[in-house]
Amino acid sequence: MLELAIGFFVLALLAGILGAGGIAGLSMDIAKWLVIIFIVLAVLSLVWPG
């Protein structure tokens, strides 16, 4: 999941450089949510007994 977030972040950077603001913003939103989900799942896996 973290790999997807990094991929969307790179896509957002490239789109921003090329002037496609809509795609860059959408890619950054997706990357942000993927990172948040990754962090939540990582914390849950550390806390959850078993």
At 1-49, the pLDDT tens digits run: 788 888 888 988 899 899 888 888 888 898 899 999 999 999 999 998 7
Range of the domain at 34: 2-47
Residue 36 has phi, psi (to 5 degrees) of -60, -45
How many domains does the chain contain in total?
A: 1
Identity of residue 25: G
The tokens 């913003």 sit on which residue?
A: 25
Instruction: Please name the amino acid found at residue 19.
Output: G
The confidence score (pLDDT) of residue 47 equals 94
What is the pTM for the complete model shown? Answer: 0.75
